[in-house]
Amino acid sequence: MAEKDVAGPQSPGGVGNRRATLKDVAQAVGVHVSTVSRALNPETRHLITPQIVEKIAEASRQLGYQPNTAAYSLRTNRTRTIGVLVPDITNSIFPPIIRGLEDTLTPRGYATLVVNTDGQFEREVAILETLFARGVDGLVIASAEREDSAIRAVAARGTPVITVNRRTDDPSIASVINDETEGVRYMLNHLVALGHRNIATIAGNQALSTGQRRYEAFLRHAVEMGLDVSPTRVGFASTFNEADGERCMEELMARGGGFTAVLCANDRLAIGAIMALRRRGLSCPGDISITGFNDMAMVDRIDPPLTTVRIQQYRVGAAAAELLLERMTKRSEIGKPQHIVMPVELVVRGSTAPPAQTSGNAAATRDLKTATRPAKVSVRSV
Amino acid sequence: MAEKDVAGPQSPGGVGNRRATLKDVAQAVGVHVSTVSRALNPETRHLITPQIVEKIAEASRQLGYQPNTAAYSLRTNRTRTIGVLVPDITNSIFPPIIRGLEDTLTPRGYATLVVNTDGQFEREVAILETLFARGVDGLVIASAEREDSAIRAVAARGTPVITVNRRTDDPSIASVINDETEGVRYMLNHLVALGHRNIATIAGNQALSTGQRRYEAFLRHAVEMGLDVSPTRVGFASTFNEADGERCMEELMARGGGFTAVLCANDRLAIGAIMALRRRGLSCPGDISITGFNDMAMVDRIDPPLTTVRIQQYRVGAAAAELLLERMTKRSEIGKPQHIVMPVELVVRGSTAPPAQTSGNAAATRDLKTATRPAKVSVRSV
DNA sequence: TTGTAAGCGTTATCAG
DNA sequence: CTGATAACGCTTACAA
């Protein structure tokens, strides 16, 4: 509870009330502003006599000199600012990505301007407009759709851009995403190991790479595993949220069921699915196992704790920042990977269990196999 | 899945590849740049002949003119940028506040630069330094401590500043906070109505206004209600997180218990408390009722669903933005409230119930009264 | 190694 | 009402 004490970020010198400028430092040392500029810039410091550099450094410290960002930008056309587009910062999968970005960008002198698109294309366009007006040096886009003409326009314009979490279908747009395919495979493996043979899925928005890739992986691997993937066991969500999960689950059950597990394209859909189940008086995982994707904050504490695929949000952000920095400095270094896929891991919790043995009270479950397998695994790393 | 199509934010005109400047527009219309500047600025537009204004507007539209922010800033010393300090964007109570800020600031032409302090004072100071270097026009601080010399320094410097969610002890620093006192009173009322007479508390960090105010309110209202507030029934958390909640709950139980409910200073402490309880083989609310504060995302879905106090995070952010805008434009308008307190509401869920009737298996519960009251209320608005 | 000077795109002051 | 001009603070050829 001790008072926080500090010299404080207020004028620790300066001239009068103004912030100190290069000219002030130059005057103090008795050299020209250009000399000060060079001395203070690591790139050009070597041009200046070490003693003078020292004197300049001292004086600028004394005066509390801080370069004027506006002047720097006006002159160099660079702002050391990165625009970050997210669908909605309120969706808890994005903040960790943003921190990953910030934590690697800030030490390099870059600031991030985070804006919300709410998944609306017109907003995305308008936002990009204002970001360009502010002269961002690069863009990180977490709101990318598979066909995203706005992003293509940005790239065509020459602004370094990278998508995170999702990617566009255009391979020339750099990206950092998660290994959706493997994630789905792990999950199917897990369900099959528990004894499930009749697995439905609630797929996400197919206009987003996450939705599309997870669904595609489901189809591919389910077939490989010899599972029945009839279209009646597929629900398509358009919004990746709880309401849509609920709706899709109801649809699936209305179509007659016959499945013992539902693989959902993300955690929020899974939560909705569980609610729908409950409303019908069914239990998870007693009657039906439900799985998520992302491992959002708190899904380990909900009832039942969600079995899901953990993605490395923070590291996705950090990797994207690194990649972007490279593309902004070394001019389009060839040979560097343009697409990074981060590994994911399966997290087994309470929302999955072996299929019910009896045809019991679960209206949606029929066609049960008898196979039973190891009941519970803790967090399994892959 | 239709391709998103748009003219795109790329050069819709411009000159060559460059962004169009005032000079370009001036040339196109055949007037001087200063005329264009005046015509485009609403404040000075009246100085220009309407026909010319129209021509200029048209040409600037045609050329896709966007004012250069850096030049504007250099000239005017204003950046239309607001710095926002939060402890950690990953903590889900902050994103809604940030959206409230953004949604009211963006339409007014301001951008927000959000940075994380991680609750470290040195980081806060360093961050303020870089924000000033970038020339922010104002500051919104969600990471304020009660005694915060850095914030005082900012205010002394003349930069408009406002704290949100928390406030400093210095009444001259404007703030928008929640009604902690009423929140605690509602909660105590609720617990007493359920029949609890022996209520413990896990207080938050007393160096933060939230922690201090909630604790003070607990003491005051508990006394008013004639409850026993012995110090053995108070635990002090230092970090407002689950781990500390767990630790405090264990401490409370180790001291011998005797309470039937625990009022926690926020939701995360409550979650930790529930975990500690569970580890001892006790149940919530069967053996002990636990309450939170904030109504964080997802606490309605955890097990048990948390009874808590809902704060209006989004509106806190929006109100702070309004207040800040006022203080930035109308020069320190007197008469306007400097401190806004937002109303809160009680949300009753599953983590509270009447105290156990028997001295049962609950090691921590004794001294039970017999009063029982209405068992469950749904969301009650106040 | 250092100084000179131009110029980035605006806005504001001062004439006309 | 409009034009000319300076200045904001910095970087960067080009000179010396």
DSSP states of B5-37:
--S-SS-SS-BTTBPP-HHHHHHHHTS-HHHHH
Domains and CATH numbers, chain B: 1-67 (1.10.260), 79-178+313-343 (3.40.50.2300), 180-307+348-365 (3.40.50.2300)
**Sign of the C-alpha dihedral computed for residues A56, A57, A63 and A66 taken in this order:** positive
Q: Please indicate if any CB of chain A lies within 8 Å of the CB of B149.
A: yes
Of the candidates B237, B230, B200, the residue with the CA atom closest to the CA atom of residue B364: B200
- From the CA of B69, how many Å to the C1' of C5? 25
Q: Which of B17, B19, B72, B74 is the best residue to mutate to test the A interface, defined by the most A CB atoms within 10 Å of its own CB?
A: B74
Q: Please indicate if any CB of chain A lies within 8 Å of the CB of B260.
A: no
Would you give the end-to-end CA distance of chain B in angstroms?
45
CB-CB contact of A81 with A135 (8 Å): yes
Asked whether the beta carbons of residue A10 and residue B135 sit closer than 8 angstroms, the reply is: no
Give the closest nucleotide to A38 (alpha carbon vs C1'): D11
Beta strand A234-236 with A199-203 is parallel
User: Quick one: tokens of A208?
Assistant: 């987003």
The phi and psi torsions of A80 (rounded to 5 degrees) equal 55, 40
Q: Which residues of A touch B113 (CB under 8 A)?
A: 111-113
Q: Determine the distance in angstroms separating the CA of B259 from the nearest CA of chain A, rounded to an integer.
A: 25
Q: Tell me: cis bond preceding B285? Omega within 30 of 0 counts.
A: yes
Q: Can you give the pLDDT at residue A233? A: 95
Q: Which residues of A touch B129 (CB under 8 A)?
A: 9, 66
Of the candidates A162, A151, A101, the residue with the CA atom closest to the CA atom of residue A128: A151
CB-CB contact of B127 with B85 (8 Å): yes
**Sign of the C-alpha dihedral computed for residues B48, B49, B50 and B55 taken in this order:** negative
pLDDT at B379 over 50: no
3-state secondary structure of B297: coil
Q: Which residues contact B161 (CB under 8 A, 6 or more apart)?
A: B138, B139, B140, B141, B151, B154, B155, B173, B174
Share of chain B above pLDDT 90, in %: 79
pLDDT at B15 over 60: no
User: Quick one: tokens of A326?
Assistant: 């490279």
Q: Which residues of A touch B147 (CB under 8 A)?
A: 1-4
Chain B residue with Cα closest to A267: B298
DSSP H or E stretch at residue B159: none
pLDDT tens by residue, chain A, 382 residues? 333 333 333 344 455 567 899 999 998 999 999 999 999 998 899 999 999 999 999 999 999 999 999 999 999 999 999 999 999 999 999 999 999 999 999 999 999 999 999 999 999 999 998 899 899 999 999 999 999 999 999 998 889 999 999 999 999 999 999 999 999 999 999 999 999 999 999 999 999 999 999 999 999 999 999 998 889 999 999 999 999 999 999 999 999 878 999 999 999 999 999 999 999 999 999 999 999 999 999 999 999 999 999 999 999 999 999 999 988 886 555 556 689 999 999 999 999 999 987 544 443 443 323 233 333 333 433 2
User: Quick one: tokens of A99?
Assistant: 């921190």
The phi and psi torsions of B114 (rounded to 5 degrees) equal -95, 130
* Strand D positions within 7 A of protein Cβ atoms: 1-5, 7-13
Q: Please indicate if any CB of chain B lies within 8 Å of the CB of A209.
A: no
Would you give the end-to-end CA distance of chain A in angstroms?
45
Please give the average per-residue pLDDT across B255-279, as a whole number: 95
Q: Can you give the pLDDT at residue B158? A: 87
Of the candidates A95, A76, A80, A311, the residue with the CA atom closest to the CA atom of residue A183: A311
Q: Please indicate if any CB of chain B lies within 8 Å of the CB of A47.
A: no
User: Quick one: tokens of A268?
Assistant: 């929020």
Spell out a b/e string for B157-166, using b for 16 or more CB atoms within 10 Å of the CB, else e.
eebbbbbbbb
User: Quick one: tokens of B124?
Assistant: 């806060």
Mean pLDDT of chain B: 88
Q: Determine the distance in angstroms separating the CA of B78 from the nearest CA of chain A, rounded to an integer.
A: 10
Q: Determine the distance in angstroms separating the CA of A72 from the nearest CA of chain B, rounded to an integer.
A: 8
Give CA torsion, residues B127, B133, B134, B138, to 10 deg: 70
Q: Is the CB of B52 under 7 A from strand D?
A: yes
Of the candidates B173, B167, B162, B169, the residue with the CA atom closest to the CA atom of residue B322: B162
Q: Which residues of B touch A104 (CB under 8 A)?
A: none
Chain B 99-118, CB below 8 Å of chain A: which residues? 99, 102, 106, 111-116
pLDDT confidence tier of residue B16, bands split at 50, 70 and 90: low
Q: Can you give the pLDDT at residue A256? A: 83
Chain A residue with Cα closest to B82: A113
Of the candidates A68, A45, A40, the residue with the CA atom closest to the CA atom of residue A56: A40
Q: Determine the distance in angstroms separating the CA of A371 from the nearest CA of chain B, rounded to an integer.
A: 31
Q: Determine the distance in angstroms separating the CA of A175 from the nearest CA of chain B, rounded to an integer.
A: 19
C-alpha dist (Å) from residue B373 to A292, A299, B137, B218: 39, 33, 54, 22
In this structure, the protein residues whose CB atom falls closer than 7 angstroms to any atom of nucleic acid strand C are A 31-35, 38, 47-49, 52, 71, 74-75; B 18-19, 21-23, 33-34, 37, 40-41, 44, 65-68, 71-72, 74-76
- Kindly report the three-state secondary structure assignment for every residue of chain A: CCCECCCCCCCCCCECCECCCHHHHHHHHCCCHHHHHHHHCCCCHHHCCHHHHHHHHHHHHHHCCCCCHHHHHHHHCCCCEEEEEECCCCCCCHHHHHHHHHHHHHHHCCEEEEEECCCCHHHHHHHHHHHHHCCCCEEEECCCCCCEHHHHHHHHCCCCEEEECCCCCCCCCEEEEECHHHHHHHHHHHHHHHCCCCEEEEECCCCCHHHHHHHHHHHHHHHHCCCCCCHHHEEECCCCCHHHHHHHHHHHHHCCCCCCEEEECCHHHHHHHHHHHHHCCCCCCCCCEEECCECCCCCCCECCCCEEEECCHHHHHHHHHHHHHHHHCCCCCCCCCCEEEECCEEECCCCCCCCCCCCCCCCCCCCCCCCCCCCCCCCCCC
Predicted confidence (pLDDT) per residue in B189-219, tens digit: 999 999 999 999 999 999 999 999 999 999 9
Give the closest nucleotide to B46 (alpha carbon vs C1'): D1
By Cβ distance, the residue of B5, B96, B112 closest to A149 is B5
Predicted confidence (pLDDT) per residue in B44-79, tens digit: 999 999 999 999 999 999 999 999 999 999 999 999
Provide the β-strand partners of residue B83: B113, B139
Q: Which residue is nearest to nucleotide C1 (CA to C1')?
A: A48
Q: Please indicate if any CB of chain B lies within 8 Å of the CB of A78.
A: no
Residues 54-113 of A with CB under 7 A from strand D: 65, 67-68, 71-72, 74-76
Q: Which of A48-57, A87-96, B136-145, B323-332 has the weakest average pLDDT?
A: B323-332
Chain A residue with Cα closest to B157: A10
Q: How many CA atoms lie within 13 A of A179 on its CB side?
A: 13
pLDDT confidence tier of residue B360, bands split at 50, 70 and 90: very low
pLDDT at B362 over 70: no
Q: How many CA atoms lie within 13 A of A162 on its CB side?
A: 28
Which string of DSSP letters, residue by residue, matches B46-107?
GGS-HHHHHHHHHHHHHHT----HHHHHHHHS---EEEEEES-TTSTTHHHHHHHHHHHHGG
Q: Is the CB of B75 under 7 A from strand D?
A: yes
Give the closest nucleotide to A19 (alpha carbon vs C1'): D9
Q: Which of B11, B89, B105, B313 is the best residue to mutate to test the A interface, defined by the most A CB atoms within 10 Å of its own CB?
A: B89
Chain A residue with Cα closest to B19: A133
Q: Please indicate if any CB of chain B lies within 8 Å of the CB of A62.
A: no
Q: Please indicate if any CB of chain B lies within 8 Å of the CB of A334.
A: no
Q: Which residues of A touch B130 (CB under 8 A)?
A: 106, 111
